[in-house]
Amino acid sequence: MSSLNPNFFIGTFRIGSVEGASCINMGNNFPVNFKSHKKQNQGLGTISGDNNQFDGLRTLLDDADVIDMLTQGGDSSIPPWIQSLIQEKLTEEKEESPTASNA
């Protein structure tokens, strides 16, 4: 009876891409606290096929990254310096709003 061999050999190992929460581990390993955060803003979508034309296309994307920064943290409390920045921005917007003068 033959004994089992813990070694195995791979002839070719090809990696197309590593994205998001993917990782490549070789040998003895134990990944801990492995986290991934990804944000993608896409206004048009995916285009496939041949001979595509987009005439007069206009897009606009307005994204406040500070909101994304707040939602990705493990700590649910907002630091005081960010709270003051948000309060200042809200005050500025309230003063600039045309409906604020009508109130």
SS3 82: helix
pLDDT digits (tens, 9 = 90+) for 11-66: 888 887 777 777 777 778 887 877 777 777 777 777 778 888 878 877 777 777 76
> What's the count of helices (H) and strands (E) in the chain, helices before strands?
3, 0
Rounded to whole angstroms, how far apart are CA atoms 68 and 66?
A: 5
The predicted model scores a pTM of 0.28
60-94 pLDDT tens trace:
777 777 666 666 555 557 778 888 888 888 888 88
Domain boundaries, the chain: 65-97
Phi-psi group of 33: left, alpha or beta (phi > 0 → left; psi -120 to 50 → alpha; rest → beta): left
